[in-house]
Structure 1
Amino acid sequence: MKLTVVGGGSTYTPELIDGFVRLRDTLPVEELVLVDPAEDRLELVGGLARRIFAKQGHGGRIVTTSDLDAGVDGADAVLLQLRVGGQAARQQDETWPLECGCIGQETTGAGGLAKALRTVPVVLDIAERVRRSNPRAWIIDFTNPVGIVTRALLQAGHRAVGLCNVAIGFQRKFAALLGAAPADVHLGHVGLNHLTWETGVRLGGPEGENVLPKLLAEHGEAIADDVRLPRPLLDRLGVVPSYYLRYYYAHDEVVRELRTKPSRAAEVAAMERELLAMYGDPALDEKPALLAKRGGAFYSEAAVDLAAALLGGGGSPYQVVNALNRGTLPFLPDDAVIEVQAAVGPAGPVPLPVPDLDPLFSGLVANVTAYEDLALEAALRGGRDRVFRALLAHPLIGQYAYADALTDQLIAHNREHLAWA
């Protein structure tokens, strides 16, 4: 089995390598190719990856290359974890929207749109090269904004599934609170990427006992602290929102916070410099503890589980993925990409039935889906007016003066990445 990681020079990669080692029985990788144009980073990450494999006795071969076509040639699955423009672009995404009093964040609002515009054309080019090499290969997208990128891939006819680590993070935390095995915790996870709620937590599978009321009653404070929302709000909602809902439910509070502290991009950039220095130590042969602060917790377990299921070698029968709606949420078009529990196998994901959503949640999902439609149109066709329309449609913006000013800022800060600008 050959797997390729595009963006293999990311400081995330040792987390993925650690998962390949620990879960080798689930996903027996024979050749792992790390592809990245940043050859200096790639060699540091690749060296550590080889030492981790060697220490744990993994017999797979690790190849590093900056040649994308060679890297994806013959791959059974390709994992995408790239960041167009690097942390410097993320720093811009997180700062200039604040000038208009809007959220500065890399996956939602104006910053999220900027990332989508930079990313979608690059990902589609990669996917076409994968299709020429092996049209049956699966593409697993971990590149944000996952929902928009996955929809672009599926709309172009690629065999693609989107992946996010929010759901597996909740699964592991709930399992710990319940004293249960993670595999026994089945989430009622529903919404869009980075816009989801846990509407149920069932033990033993989709038909098991719903213990969410018990979780909220006994551990509501801990859960509220984790998602950074007030405990009374969770009690009133009766569900657990992802921490990304804080950008909607506490918008002005978050803007005030963001204006008074260093950006997450600055924190991550400093962390990455430290991690890369560690990776260059020839004595290091395991992922460092600092990597846990980088983000992406449980990404490796989720990626291995999904790849194993898609390639027919195992994996959990039910997994939270980003896939085509196809009637699952009846108020959305069939070709919308939603994030829900799905039955996953070699034919791809099939979303499980979802109970009717409270209008409090479905209304926001429908609104953000409309924005994602317009965002993808802007990413594929370009043009100032398409960018403006997407920003005007976003519920975190919504005012024409803000949308106008943010459009100019977005284009000015991303001109080098926009072929049409």
Structure 2
Amino acid sequence: MKLTVVGGGSTYTPELIDGFARLRDTLPVEELVLVDPAAERLELVGGLARRIFAKQGHGGRIVTTSDLDAGVEGADAVLLQLRVGGQAARQQDETWPLECGCIGQETTGAGGLAKALRTVPVVLDIAERVRRTNPNAWIIDFTNPVGIVTRALLQAGHKAVGLCNVAIGFQRKFANLLGVTPSEIHLDHLGLNHLTWETAVRLGGPEGENVLPKLLGEHGDTIAADLKLPTTLLDRLGGVIPSYYLRYYYAHDEVVRELRTKPSRAAEVAAMEKQLLEMYGDPALDEKPELLARRGGAYYSEAAVDLAAALLGSTGNPYQVVNTYNGGTLPFLPDDAVIEVQAAVGANGPVPLPVPDVDPLFAGLVANVTGYEELALEAALRGGRDRVFRALLAHPLVGQYEYADALTDRLIAHNREHLAWA
């Protein structure tokens, strides 16, 4: 089995490598190719990757290259984990929206739109090259904003599935609180990428006992504190647990005040990345450092291994939380909307599990953001100031025409080098 990671020079990659090494019985990788144009970073990451494999007794071959076509040739699956513009662009995404009193965040709101505009054309070009070289390869997208990027890939006819680590993070957290193994936890997970709620926590599988009421009753304060939301709000949501991204919607002004008074997450990550790359260059280092857990992407490797194993017909749990076409799963959305739900995953791709009727409190917001994502993808594919404005006006974190106008100007000014039409 051959897997290729595009963006293999990312500081995330040792997390992925560690998972491939530990879970080699689930996903028996014989050749792993790391592709990245940043040769110096790639060499550091590739060296550590080989040492991790060697220490854990993995016999697979690790190849590093800047040649995308060669890297994806013959691959069974291609993982995308790239960041167009790097941390410098992320710093901008998290900064200029605050000038208008809006959330500054890299995956949602105005900053998320900027990232989509930079990213979608690049990802589609990569995917076309994968298809020319190896039309049977699965594309697993971990590149944000995952929902919009996955929708772009699927609409272009690619064999693509989107992946996020929010669900697996909740799975691990709930398992720890309940004193069970993660494999015993099955989530009823509902929504869009970075806009989701856990509506049930089941023991043993899709038909298992729902222990979410027990979780909220015994650990509601702990869960609420992790989300930085009041316990009383969780009670009033009707017995569900929102992802931490919902705080941007439920406590928008509070978050804006916080973001204006502390260093950006991008600045923190950039400092961590510099330190991590220095550590990766140490020839004695042969395991992922503890600092990497603070970088983000926790449990990404386990989620990627499980998904790739299911798609490629290997062993593992067939039930995965993924981003894929709606196809009637949520009847209030278009069939070609991309949703994030539990699905049965096999060699033919994911099939979403049935979802009970959705509370209007959640359905309304999901429908609103789905409309934004459709407009965002149109802007990413076709360009133009008016399309950017329409997407921003549609987003519930913007919504006012004066803000949308000002944010459109700022977005274009800060991203002109990445926008072919600007």
When normalised by structure 1's length, the TM-score is 1.00
The aligned counterpart of 1:162 is 162
What SS is found at the alignment partner of 1:18? Answer: helix
In structure 2, distance between residues paired with 1:230 and 1:201: 21
| C-alpha RMSD over aligned residues | 0.5
What SS is found at the alignment partner of 2:63? Answer: strand
| CA positional deviation for 1:134 | 1.2
Question: Which range moves more in the overlay, 209-218 or 175-184?
Answer: 175-184
Percent identity among equivalent residues? 89
| CA positional deviation for 1:180 | 1.2
The aligned counterpart of 1:22 is 22
| CA positional deviation for 1:25 | 0.3
What SS is found at the alignment partner of 1:229? Answer: coil
Residue pairs, 1:187-206, within 5 angstroms: 187-206=187-206
The aligned counterpart of 2:395 is 394
Instruction: Note the alpha carbon deviations across 1:122-161, whole angstroms, 9 max, x for none.
Output: 0000000110111110000000000000000000000000
The aligned counterpart of 1:88 is 88
1:239 is aligned with what amino acid? V
In structure 2, distance between residues paired with 1:229 and 1:350: 33
What SS is found at the alignment partner of 2:368? Answer: helix
Residue pairs, 1:18-417, within 5 angstroms: 18-237=18-237, 238-417=239-418
Instruction: Note the alpha carbon deviations across 1:240-299, whole angstroms, 9 max, x for none.
Output: 000000000000000000000000000000000000000000000000000000000000
Instruction: Note the alpha carbon deviations across 1:361-396, whole angstroms, 9 max, x for none.
Output: 000000000000000000000000000000000000
| CA positional deviation for 1:316 | 0.9
1:358 is aligned with what amino acid? D
1:353 is aligned with what amino acid? P
In structure 2, distance between residues paired with 1:394 and 1:197: 19
In structure 1, distance between residues paired with 2:6 and 2:146: 15
In structure 2, distance between residues paired with 1:270 and 1:205: 41
In structure 1, distance between residues paired with 2:374 and 2:111: 16
| CA positional deviation for 1:236 | 1.2
Instruction: Note the alpha carbon deviations across 1:23-73, whole angstroms, 9 max, x for none.
Output: 000000000000001000000000000000111111000000011111111
In structure 2, distance between residues paired with 1:235 and 1:207: 24
1:33 is aligned with what amino acid? V
| CA positional deviation for 1:94 | 0.1
| CA positional deviation for 1:315 | 2.2
What SS is found at the alignment partner of 1:37? Answer: coil
What SS is found at the alignment partner of 1:261? Answer: coil
In structure 2, distance between residues paired with 1:302 and 1:197: 18
Unaligned runs of 5+ in 1: none
2:4 is aligned with what amino acid? T
What SS is found at the alignment partner of 1:267? Answer: helix
What SS is found at the alignment partner of 2:102? Answer: coil
In structure 2, distance between residues paired with 1:125 and 1:227: 37
1:137 is aligned with what amino acid? A
| CA positional deviation for 1:207 | 0.8
Question: Which range moves more in the overlay, 180-189 or 339-348?
Answer: 180-189
2:271 is aligned with what amino acid? A
| CA positional deviation for 1:96 | 0.1
Runs (4+) of structure 1 exceeding 6 A deviation are: none
In structure 1, distance between residues paired with 2:225 and 2:276: 28
In structure 1, distance between residues paired with 2:141 and 2:53: 24
1:253 is aligned with what amino acid? E
| CA positional deviation for 1:225 | 1.1
In structure 1, distance between residues paired with 2:298 and 2:377: 28
In structure 1, distance between residues paired with 2:54 and 2:211: 42
What SS is found at the alignment partner of 2:246? Answer: helix
In structure 1, distance between residues paired with 2:362 and 2:82: 31
In structure 2, distance between residues paired with 1:225 and 1:358: 24
In structure 2, distance between residues paired with 1:168 and 1:57: 26
In structure 2, distance between residues paired with 1:381 and 1:181: 47
In structure 2, distance between residues paired with 1:74 and 1:188: 36
Question: Which range moves more in the overlay, 221-230 or 160-169?
Answer: 221-230
1:7 is aligned with what amino acid? G
What SS is found at the alignment partner of 1:216? Answer: helix
In structure 1, distance between residues paired with 2:408 and 2:54: 50
In structure 2, distance between residues paired with 1:393 and 1:217: 37
1:294 is aligned with what amino acid? R
In structure 2, distance between residues paired with 1:239 and 1:171: 14
2:344 is aligned with what amino acid? A
2:290 is aligned with what amino acid? A
What SS is found at the alignment partner of 2:196? Answer: strand
| CA positional deviation for 1:228 | 1.3
2:316 is aligned with what amino acid? G
When normalised by structure 2's length, the TM-score is 0.99
2:198 is aligned with what amino acid? E
Question: Which range moves more in the overlay, 313-322 or 11-20?
Answer: 313-322
In structure 2, distance between residues paired with 1:249 and 1:206: 29
